[in-house]
Structure 1
């Protein structure tokens, strides 16, 4: 698998619109809605890409074998670097490899002390989050939706993430 992390501005606008409107993807995104059009997409990309300047990190567009697979990475959320991973259903089997690369970058090149994941309370299958080392860390509200927050602390020896 040839995995590339690129800026969201390098992805096709239509690919991003299609992904963020996909019904299977929307079932996993309680803040998403099926009216993500070109105007909303351009503003969304601008806001997501601006996080790189503001925070030193932000979301990427993921390409697998030269095809747009999805978006995600680390987004600033109430002082935390929050992990997001949104993949087209055709690429759902690639999530682990993408996650591992995000974690590697977070704890080595970016030097973060911890990252979070926010999961809606409707998401009941969360044992995998604990297996990855995330610990329960309270709850937060975003745009009127409550989420469970889980936190992963940087390992004492970040070298284990280096390739």
Structure 2
């Protein structure tokens, strides 16, 4: 399943060549902003968990492509009563995060299930201007997986 969203294609994460995902997650520039990666990366457990989210919630993380170029992965996962948006890009795609997020949020605004989107930012992420431009509001901090994150919420229906 590939869903074309402007310049980006959101596809099945399970179809990404394993070497691309392994290289992305092993890159220290990526790991710097992923405090939950502290214990290392188990590719097969990661892919099983992502497939389980799709089966459980009917939505989850996609592979993100621009033509034949793998940009990373991200999307929406249900966390309690809110949909969390995550985006993990390859270092070569770091500058495209806002454009990808805008396109993913356009999907969320059309999806009746997603009324509120949560963004959890690691403390290493200093700039939140892009989130503010999208309309997200900081609502405090939250502990998740033993780590503290800045929490932002965006009402997709207003």
TM-score bracket, normalised by the shorter chain, equals: 0.7 to 0.9
Matched, 1:108 2:119: no
| TM-score, normalised relative to structure 1 | 0.85
What number of residue pairs does the alignment pair up?
A: 153
Query: Which residue is 1:35 aligned to?
Result: 40
Q: Secondary structure at the match of 2:73?
A: strand
C-alpha distance in structure 1 between counterparts of 2:75 and 2:112, whole Å: 12
Matched ranges for 1:1-163 at <5 A: 2-33=7-38, 35-36=40-41, 40-156=42-158
| Structure 2 unaligned residues grouped into runs of 5+ | 1-5
C-alpha distance in structure 2 between counterparts of 1:52 and 1:115, whole Å: 17
CA contact (8 A) 1:74 1:83 kept: yes
| Structure 1 unaligned residues grouped into runs of 5+ | 157-163
C-alpha distance in structure 2 between counterparts of 1:101 and 1:152, whole Å: 15
Give RMSD over aligned pairs.
Answer: 1.8
User: Could you tell me how far 1:96 is from its partner in structure 2?
Assistant: 2.4
CA contact (8 A) 1:21 1:34 kept: no
| TM-score, normalised relative to structure 2 | 0.88
